[in-house]
Amino acid sequence: MAPVEPRTVAAIVPAAGSGERLGAGVPKAMAPLGGQPILAHAVRALVAEPRLGLLVLAAPDGLEEQMAGVAAAVAGGVPVVAVTGGATRVESVRAALEVVPESFEVVLVHDAARCLVPVEVVAAVVDAVLAGAPAVVPGQPVVDTIRELSEQGGSRTVDRSRLRAVQTPQGFPADILRRAHASGDPRATDDAGLVEALGLPVTLVTGHPRAFKVTTALDLVLAEALVAGQEA
């Protein structure tokens, strides 16, 4: 029998956004996908990682209990806590981080909207943090040719072979993520950016096309097809 892995990983799931671009009429995490809320898919993807021992959701004000119920129903016994999210994603993550007990060594931050991430990506992020990286993000090559605008109104092509589109889960040693959020550099748009602002390196691991973020109605069409097993 394989040894039982200690559950040293806590996952924070920012799910407090309104989902304006999706326009589902409900907060995006509660929008249905294959008959279940997007949040339920995201939670199932995370708890497939056996080292996960706690899930903390940041929910929209007033939806904490409902979302905790949705998550707990598919969490396979992993404890679920819901807190009230903030006005921005960074604030939502900070609110969730406050209730993560000190005993958890590793903290993952995973967008509810990246609800179909394969467990291999989650495991690769945890492994890289446990190997000593202060910040780990999954990345995917950029498929579009990218042009950068100049101040003069022109533009130039950027070498896309050196670019990576960042996905989640992002992973951190818990103490480093706490320090990063305490410093709260306003230029950072995600958690890895906050760690980077401390002067620490960010490690990339290989992401996955299925870790895409459901942002618009078009993304939901793709997600529905994947859930229905109609993978191209």
Q: Give me the residues that bind ligand CTP (CB under 6 A), please.
A: 14-21, 28-29, 58, 85-89, 92, 111-113, 213, 215
Shortest distance, position 52 Cβ to Mg ion, whole Å: 25
Query: Of the two residues 39 and 205, which places its CB atom closer to Mg ion in the complex?
Result: 39
The candidate with the shortest Cα–Cα distance to 41, out of 74, 85, 77, is 74
192 binds, among Mg ion, ligand CTP, none (CB under 5 to 8 A by kind): none
From the CB of 87, what's the least distance to ligand CTP, in Å? 6
- Which position has the token pair 């609110």? 95
Binding positions for Mg ion, rule: CB under 5 A: 17
CA separation for the pair 44, 72 (Å, rounded): 10
> Which of the choices ligand CTP, Mg ion, none does residue 85 contact, using the CB cut-off of 5 to 8 A by kind?
ligand CTP
Shortest distance, CB of residue 46 to ligand CTP, whole angstroms? 13
Q: Is the Cβ of residue 8 or residue 84 nearer to Mg ion in the bound state?
A: 84
CB-wise, 28 or 210, nearer to Mg ion? 28
Question: Quick one: 88 or 183, whose CB is closer to ligand CTP?
Answer: 88
Helix (H) or strand (E) holding 9: strand 9-14
With CB under 5 to 8 Å by kind, the binding choice for 88 among ligand CTP, Mg ion, none is ligand CTP
- Residue whose beta carbon is closest to Mg ion: 17
Q: How far apart are CA 86 and CA 90, in angstroms?
A: 8
**DSSP line for 59-106:** E-TT-HHHHHHHHHHHSTT--EEEEE--SSHHHHHHHHHTTS-TT-SE
Sign of the CA dihedral running 168, 172, 178, 183: negative
| Residue 59 CB neighbours (<10 A) | 29
CB of 38 to ligand CTP, least distance (A): 8
Say how far apart CA 136 and CA 172 lie, in whole Å: 7
Q: Which residue's Cβ has the minimum distance to ligand CTP?
A: 17
